[in-house]
Amino acid sequence: MTPLIMGLHAITEMLNSHPKRLLKVFILDSQKRDKRKSRVITQLREKRIEIEFISKDRLSRLTGSDSHQGIAAYIKKREEATLESFFKEAKRMKKCFVLMLDEITDPHNLGAILRSSECFGVSAIILSQGNAAPITPTVSKVSCGASEFLKTISVKNLPHTLELFKKEGFKIIGSNVSKEASDLNSFSYPEKTLFILGSEGKGVRSQLLKKCDHHLYIPMKGKIDSLNVSNAAAVFLSRIN
């Protein structure tokens, strides 16, 4: 199936960074004279990328969403990364930060986490093929296109994958509020780090926490003692050196 992305920011980023991946762009017929859409249309025509003006109903059916911002696009599928190929790359990196997502099922949280990951320089994202949100047009929109720029690797077994990273010299760190956990403010990430972020309701599963070298928590000063998982991700990732 040809990948589909939606949202003005996502498509603008793709147009500026990887225009050859854009196969066909769909724009609401009623918005083709909109200032921002007009600029995009001009760029698309300059790069000879196919445009089709369609109705709102058709665009909503195409994307499976009403929050498409009047624009969507078919893009070339990129080559999927593998653990083997990533480990070869990681050997040449002095610093490498990998984010593993454990049962993040909400597409808006996933999109926001991917956006923060791209902004703060995450080297790769490890996603579970099981109980987790897939990368959909909604995820691409929320991530502002980061879902298409980040190296994402889907795996069947997260605990086994952790063991593979350990063999490659990575330190495993998990988000966890416990007596054994360290304050994020007094911690420095190792040069080769795999950080695990769990779901908002359950956190990181115990079978993964047991394999961690360190646990980290975000100290809170307010009356509310927890953050949305995507907000927590941004805080953790902002400390990448």
| 67-119 pLDDT, tens digit each | 899 999 999 988 888 999 999 999 999 999 999 999 999 999 999 999 999 99
As given in the structure block, the two tokens for residue 153 are: 């690797």
- Tell me the mean pLDDT in the region 170-193: 93
Q: Which domains does the chain show, CATH number per domain?
A: 4-75 (3.30.1330.30), 83-237 (3.40.1280.10)
Whether the Cβ atoms of residue 138 and residue 108 lie closer than 8 Å to each other: yes
Map tokens 């939606």 to a residue: 6
pLDDT at 30: 93
Q: Is residue 131 over pLDDT 90?
A: no
Q: Is residue 223 over pLDDT 80?
A: no
Question: How many angstroms from the chain centroid is the CA of residue 184?
Answer: 22
d(CA 114, CA 125): 8
